[in-house]
Structure 1
Amino acid sequence: MTLAWTDHLIVLPVLLPLVAGAVMAPFTEGRHNLKFALGYGSALALLANALALMVLADGSWPGGVGVYFAANWAAPFGITLVADRLSALMLVLTALLALAALHYAQPRWSRISVHFHSLFQFLLMGINGAFLTHDIFNLFVFFELMLAASYGLVLHGYNAARLRASMQYIAVNLVAALLFLIGIALIYATTGTLNMADLARQAAALQAPYLGLFKAGVAVMALAFLVKGAMWPLGFWLPTTYAAASPPVAIMLVLMTKVGAYVVLRIWLLVFADGAGAVARFGYDALMWGGMATIVFGAAGMLATDTTGRIAGYAAIVSSGTLLAVIGYGQPQLVTAALYYFIASTIAIAAFVLLIELIDRMRTPGAALLALTMEAYAVEDSPAEPKGSGVPAATAFLSLAFAACALMIAGLPPLSGFVAKFGMFHALLNPGAGAAAIGPAGWAIMALVFTSGLIAIITLLRFGVRTFWAGGAMLPPRLHAAEVVPVAALLVLSVALTVEAQPVYAYLARISADIHRPGLYVERVLTTPALPGPASGKEAP
Structure 2
Amino acid sequence: MIQHLIIAPILIPFIAGALMLLYDDRQRSAKFWLSLISAGLLLLVAIRLLLEAKEAGSGGIGFYLLGNWAAPMAIVLVVDHLSAMMLVLTAIIGLASLVYSRAVWHRQGQHYFSLFQFLLMGLNGAFLTGDLFNLFVFFEVLLAASYGLLLHGSGQARVRAGMHYIAVNLAASLLFLLGVSLIYGVTGTLNMAHLANLAPMIPAVDQPLLKMGFALLGVAFLIKAGSWPLSFWLPNAYMSAAAPVGAIFAILTKVGIYAILRLSMLLFAEEGTGLTGWGAEVLILLGLASVAFALFGTLASQSLGRIAAYAVILSSGTVLAVIGFALAGGGGWMLTAALYYMIGSTLATATLFLLVEPMSRDDGGIAAMLALTAEIYGTGKDESLGAETPDGPAMPAGLTLISVCFGICAIVLAGLPPLPGFVGKLGMIQGALADAPAATFLNWSFIALLILSGLGTIIALARIGIQTFWGSDEASSSVMALEVAPALVLIALLGVMSIKSEAVLRYTGNTVEALQDRSLYAYGVFGAARTTVPMLPGTGEEQP
> TM-score normalised to the size of structure 2?
0.91
The answer for the alignment partner of 1:240 in structure 2 is 236
2:318 to 308, 318, 322: 322
Q: Aligned partners of 1:537, 1:455: CA distance in 2, in Å?
A: 71
- The letter of the residue matching 2:236 is T
Which residue is equivalent to 1:301? 297
Q: Which residue of 1 aligns with 2:404?
A: 400
Which residue does the alignment assign to 2:466? 465
Query: Alpha carbon RMSD of aligned pairs, Å?
Result: 2.0
After superposition, where does 1:13-412 map in structure 2 within 5 Å? 13-60=9-56, 63-330=59-326, 331=330, 332-364=332-364, 367-370=366-369, 393-412=397-416
Whole-angstrom CA distance in 2 between matches of 1:418 and 1:94? 23
Task: Give the match for residue 525 of structure 1.
Answer: 525
Q: In structure 1, give the amino acid aligned to 2:355.
A: L
Give the residue type in structure 2 aligned to 1:395: L
Alpha-carbon offset, residue 203 of structure 1: 1.5
**Match of 1:456?**
457
Shift in Å at residue 520 of structure 1? 2.3
* CA positional deviation for 1:255: 0.5
In structure 1, give the amino acid aligned to 2:444.
W
- Report how many aligned residue pairs link the two structures: 512
User: Structure 1 length as normaliser, TM-score?
Assistant: 0.91
Q: Displacement, 1:307?
A: 2.1
- Aligned mates of 1:145, 1:284 — CA distance in 2: 30
The aligned residue for residue 417 of structure 1 is 421
By how many angstroms is 1:58 displaced?
2.1
CA contact (8 A) 1:372 1:466 kept: no
Runs of 4+ in structure 1 deviating by more than 3 angstroms, as ranges, are: 370-373, 531-539
Q: CA deviation at 1:475?
A: 2.1
* Alignment partners' CA distance in 1, 2:541 and 2:464: 67
- Residue identity in the other structure for 2:413: I
- Is the Cα–Cα contact under 8 Å of residues 72 and 191 in structure 2 kept in the other structure? yes
Matches of 1:61 and 1:337 in 2, distance apart?
A: 18
Counterpart CA distance in 2 for 1:504 and 1:176 is: 34
Whether 1:487 and 2:487 are equivalent positions in the alignment is yes
Return 5+ residue gaps in structure 2 as ranges. Answer: 373-395
**Partner SS for 1:525:** coil
Deviations 1:169-198 (A, max 9, x none): 000000000000000000001111111011
Q: CA deviation at 1:534?
A: 6.4
- Preserved CA contact (<8 Å) 1:63 1:521: no
Unaligned 5+ segments in structure 1 are 374-391
DSSP-derived class of the 2:25 partner: coil
Provide the residue aligned with 1:426 in structure 2: 430
The C-alpha deviation readout for 1:224-266, integer Å capped at 9, x for no partner, is 1110101111111110011110011101111001111011011
CA deviation after TM superposition for structure 1 residue 59, in Å:
2.4
Contact 1:363 1:474 in 2 (8 A): no
For 1:372 and 1:246, how far apart are their aligned partners in 2? Answer: 20
How far apart are the structure 2 equivalents of 1:259 and 1:135? 15
Q: CA contact under 8 A between 1:371 and 1:466: conserved in structure 2? A: no
Counterpart of 1:376?
Answer: none
Rounded to whole Å, the distance in 1 between the matches of 2:55 and 2:467 is 51
Change (3 A) 1:210 1:534: farther
Q: Quickly say closer, same or farther: Cα 1:173–1:66, change in 2 above 3 A.
A: same
Task: Letter of the 2:286 partner, please give it.
Answer: G
Give, in whole Å, the separation in 2 of the partners of 1:131 and 1:333: 23
Alpha-carbon distance between aligned partners in 1 of 2:469 and 2:541, rounded to the nearest angstrom: 71
Name the CA shift for 1:34/1:422 in 2 (closer, same or farther; >3 Å). Answer: same
Paired residue secondary structure (2:59)? helix
What CA distance in whole angstroms lies between the structure 1 residues aligned with 2:371 and 2:39?
42
Tell me: CA distance 1:442–1:209, structure 2 relative to 1, closer, same or farther (3 Å): same
Rounded to whole Å, the distance in 2 between the matches of 1:223 and 1:258 is: 15
In the alignment, the residues of structure 1 paired with residue 7 and residue 138 of structure 2 have an alpha-carbon distance, to the nearest angstrom, of 13
Tell me the CA shift for residue 481 of structure 1. 0.6
